[in-house]
Amino acid sequence: MKTTQPNVIVIQTFHLPKAVVWKAITNHNHMVEWFFHNIPDFKAEVGFKTAFNVKVPSRDFMHLWEIKEVLPEEKIVYNWKYKGFEGDSFVTFQLNAFNNKTKLTVTVEIVEDFDDTIPEFKLESCEQGWNYFIKDSLVSYLEENYNS
């Protein structure tokens, strides 16, 4: 993932109120169900930091998150990087309500190049990962827990 590449943008609409989607993307108990099971803690508060490891067969990726902006039920922005690897990014979750629905837009902006010789840091991997998290995992979680 490079600063010269377009932002990764994933958009999903839910037939749920913004408050429900917001809770799913910012409440630790919900996040461990659909996002990363090993997030040790999470608070939707500017300055909150957390770190957790994700193992893949070839290496460990220690995720480092810091919350940079919070507008309750509107937007949350993380600084997202990995310990021991070059690269830096911001991930924005933006919620918009319309016609009793909520549109979630996730935008990944690269602010320092990642080493794309590492397969997990290729643009295609980032796109696949975010599409999985939002369009598969979060959709399934919300359908199972909030839709009749």
Q: What confidence tens digit (pLDDT) does each residue in 93-143 have?
A: 999 999 989 999 999 999 999 998 999 999 999 999 999 999 999 999 999
Q: What is the mean pLDDT of residues 71-89?
A: 97
CATH of 8-146, one of 3.30.360.30, 1.10.1530.10, 3.40.50.720, 3.30.530.20: 3.30.530.20
**What's the pLDDT score for residue 57?**
85
Q: What pLDDT, on the 0 to 100 scale, is given for residue 56?
A: 87
Instruction: Kindly report the pTM of this predicted structure.
Output: 0.95
Model confidence over 14-60: pLDDT tens digits? 999 999 999 999 999 999 999 999 999 999 999 999 999 999 888 99
pLDDT at 58: 84
Residue 39 main-chain phi, psi, to 5 deg? -65, 120
- Closest listed residue to residue 35, CA positions, set 134, 147, 145, 131: 134
Domain ranges of the chain: 8-146
Matching residue, tokens 């979750």: 93
Three-class SS state of 73? coil
What pLDDT score was predicted for residue 85? 96
Cα–Cα distances in angstroms (integers) from residue 34 to residues 6, 87, 114, 123, 144, in the given order: 26, 25, 25, 22, 11
- CA 94/CA 92 separation, integer angstroms: 6
- Residue 146 reports pLDDT greater than 90: no
Do residues 133 and 126 lie in contact, with contact meaning Cβ atoms separated by under 8 Å?
A: no
